[in-house]
Amino acid sequence: MPELPEVENFKNYIDETSLHQKIAAIQIAAPELLVNTTIDILRDTLKGNVFEDTFRHGKFLFIRLLKNGFLMLHFGMTGDLLYYTPDKKYPKVYVLLIQFENGRNLAFSDQRRLGKIGLVKNVESFIKDRGYGKDALKISLEEFIALFQKRRIAIKTALMNQKIVAGVGNEFSDEILFQSKVHPESKSNVLPIEKLKEIYQHMLAILQEAIEQNADRSKLEHYFFLDHRKEGLKCPECKGDTKLRTIGGRSSYFCPSCQKLYT
């Protein structure tokens, strides 16, 4: 599922393929993904326009346009990008297709259609108005500790809340807490400052390495819970059984003996 590292990877992909080319036409196959815009407005805005550069905040990707602000993309659970040269094998299934004047296409596919497509005039006010927290890679240790010390919810739920810190989802939250040896149901506000610091440091380290590996899960196999999401597996540390529990409405995997519960 696209979390922060995957979205960073999409950003790099667009930077490498789709910048500085005039858009000849677009196709919109899933109008229900549009937020605060319409098919006509999106088409009028993008046609003849140019992708200039990109900016990521949490799991949101913003593409700056030569004219008229930014194109906003959110990848939901199944969003994906493919830049390709149309031939007989295509078009593949897409929700949005960008056709460049050079003949290449950029397809945004989203099998389960939980993604979002929109136009944004000002990225900072978009983030502020919707209440999203600082990006997980940009938040300072002091800000992180202050925010998590005043939340009484489970630490896993807090980590996944985009309005506290933006970018961490279900799978990375499990891995961060396993590395930090903290039980996901621990109350955020009772964790010692030293533990919050560890969580912060592991969050940065894991996200950064995932980005360096282009979010390729096959290169992240040493992260146990990123790759082994099943109940009853042997914990690589203590050889005990891993557990599954629904926390914050999401399936959470953890090692009950290695990960200490703070209440």
Partner DNA sequence: GAAGTTGTTTATTA
Partner DNA sequence: CTAATAAACAACTT
Provide the binding-site residues for DNA, judged by CB under 7 A. 1-3, 58-60, 74, 76-77, 111-114, 130, 150-154, 157, 160, 162, 169-171, 229, 244, 246, 249-251
Residue 118 backbone dihedrals phi, psi, to 5 degrees: -155, 175
Q: Which of 260, 248, 251 lies closest to 154 in space, CA to CA?
A: 248
> What long-range pairs does 218-223 form, CB within 8 A, spacing at least 24?
223/175, 223/179
Cβ proximity to DNA: between 115 and 179 the closer is 115
Cβ of residue 46: shortest distance to DNA, in angstroms? 22
Cα(225)–Cα(213) distance, integer angstroms: 17
Is residue 243 classed as helix, strand or coil in its secondary structure?
A: strand
Cβ proximity to DNA: between 45 and 135 the closer is 135
Neighbours of 72 (CB within 10 A): 20
Cβ of residue 75: shortest distance to DNA, in angstroms? 8
Cβ proximity to DNA: between 62 and 100 the closer is 62
DSSP letters along 193-226, please?
HHHHHHHHHHHHHHHHHHHHTTT-GGG-TTSHHH
What single DSSP character describes residue 260? Answer: B
Q: Which of 56, 5, 2, 16 lies closest to 213 in space, CA to CA?
A: 5
Neighbours of 153 (CB within 10 A): 16
Cα(170)–Cα(4) distance, integer angstroms: 11
Q: E-assigned strands of 125-186?
A: 134-135, 165-166
Cβ proximity to DNA: between 4 and 65 the closer is 4
Cβ proximity to DNA: between 19 and 123 the closer is 123
Cβ of residue 116: shortest distance to DNA, in angstroms? 7
Cβ proximity to DNA: between 44 and 216 the closer is 216
Cβ proximity to DNA: between 97 and 164 the closer is 164
